[in-house]
Structures are given as structure tokens and as C-alpha cells.
Copies of this chain bind each other. A is one copy, B any other.
Amino acid sequence: MSAFAKTDLNRVKRVPDRGHYDKETIYPIIDEATICHVGFVADERPFVIPTIHARQGDTLLLHGATTSRMLKTIQQGNPICITITLLDGLVMARSVFHHSMNYRSAVLFGQGHLIDDPEAKMEALYTFTEKLIPGRWDDARQPNATEAKATSIIAVPIDSASAKIRMGPPGDDDEDYALPVWAGVVPITQRLTTPLDDPRLTPGIAVPDYLTRYIQSRS
């Protein structure tokens, strides 16, 4: 893999040491996150909408109803910014001033276009489904023509991107280390927990193995 050029668009300005521009760092953040926040401009105002995403190589996929205003604005080719944030911990310093968060975030810039080709569209729906729950595509009923038509898939080639990462213990001012105040990190984790049957589930249908394995891998 390679890296994105550092430009005025993607440069991490605050605490530049936390900035990363290589795909090896940025893409795993995208892939680990379940949702992203999509920023676009309409009527000269900013809008930020949460949605799920999936990555295909250097392209981010978004999807939604064909009637969605967000997708309509994006498919017109307007510039968008997609931000993904994973929270890792509360960083507790001895001084209030040096309190912080541990996090990994990625900020992506690009312009989207509609995927019209039915085969590419089904491939994208497969990618979304398998990212959300690996193994689900072959188990669930796959989309029919009407459903595929009701879904817009937008491909956003990632033109520019950067990651910003903070990890590790707090950093206090030298003279504060002697203070009798506890300091450290409280980890934050996002977990999948025990699945709840649909109240209308046909009796006798068990939670599938691929789901149990996936929950274990994220719990």
C-alpha cells in the first residue's frame, strides 16, 4: 500500500505528531468502525449524517434509499468529508488541562458517484452485509431486483485522507508528577453482546455459528 499526499486539505494541524497519511494506518480504522459521519454542504450549510460504510480497496461505499437527500447531494459530485472515530480511552492527567482521549480517527475527502451496474451493485451489497456480519450473505435471503432498485450505492474514491491517533498514558507538566492525584487511562471498548431472538422467530432456529464466532471476536 502507499500513502496520501500531505496537502492543505488533509494535513493534521493540531498536534501534527498524531497525524498519519499511510493507508496501512488509515484503512484499518475505516474497516474496524461500524459507522461513519458524512459531511456535505447543501444551501451553503453543513450537514453531518451518520451511516454505515464499507471499503472496497481505495473506495468507500455508502448506501441508502434512492430517495435520500444525502445520497442525492453526494451523487451530484459535491465534495464530501467522511469521518470515522474509534474511542479507546479516557486519559486522566494530574492536571485538568492535560486530560485527553485516546482515539483513532480517519478523515476522508472525495466525491461520490452512483453505482448503476446491477452486478457491481450486488457486489457492493455483498460487501456491506459481510462487513456487518461475516457469513450473513449466504444465510439470509439475498436482495431481489425490486430491493436492489430501491437501494442507492454511492462509491467515493478516497482522494485524500489522514488519520489522527492518540494512545498511551497522560502527559503532565513536570512539576505536576509529584501531586498526590491518581493518573492513568480508563479504556473504552465497544462490544457485541448476547443476541436477542426476534419475538417472531420460528421456534427451533438457533443463533448461527458464524454469528456466535463474530460476537466472540468483538466482545
Residue of chain B at shortest CB distance from A8: B43
Q: A133 at interface (Cβ–Cβ under 8 A)?
A: yes
Q: A176 at interface (Cβ–Cβ under 8 A)?
A: yes
A72 to B142, CA, bound (A): 48
Task: Knowing A87-B190, A97-B151 are in contact, say whether A14-B67 is a contact too (CB < 8 A).
Answer: yes
Task: Knowing A14-B67, A96-B136, A192-B90 are in contact, say whether A205-B186 is a contact too (CB < 8 A).
Answer: no
Task: Knowing A186-B215, A188-B190 are in contact, say whether A181-B195 is a contact too (CB < 8 A).
Answer: no
Which one of A54-62, A100-108, A113-121 is at the interface? Answer: A100-108
Taking beta carbons and an 8 Å cutoff, which residues of A are in contact with B? 9, 13-14, 34-35, 37-41, 44-50, 52, 64-65, 67-69, 79-83, 85, 87, 90, 92-97, 99, 101, 103, 105, 107, 109, 125, 129, 132-133, 136-137, 139-144, 147, 150-151, 169-170, 176-202, 205-208, 211, 215
Task: Knowing A141-B179, A191-B191 are in contact, say whether A136-B83 is a contact too (CB < 8 A).
Answer: no
Q: Which of A40, A48, A68, A83 has the most CB of B within 10 A?
A: A48
Cβ contacts A to B, 14 pairs, < 8 Å? A35-B103, A37-B48, A41-B45, A44-B79, A50-B103, A92-B140, A92-B195, A96-B143, A99-B132, A99-B136, A133-B186, A182-B208, A186-B195, A187-B194
Task: Knowing A48-B83, A85-B50, A182-B201 are in contact, say whether A141-B41 is a contact too (CB < 8 A).
Answer: no
Q: List, in ascending order, chain B residues with CB within 8 A of A38's CB.
A: 48
Q: Is A141's CB under 8 angstroms from B101's CB?
A: no
Q: List, in ascending order, chain B residues with CB within 8 A of A187's CB.
A: 192-196
Q: List, in ascending order, chain B residues with CB within 8 A of A99's CB.
A: 129, 132, 136, 140
Contact of A143 among B14, B79, B90, B97 (CB under 8 A): B97
A85 to B87, CA, bound (A): 13
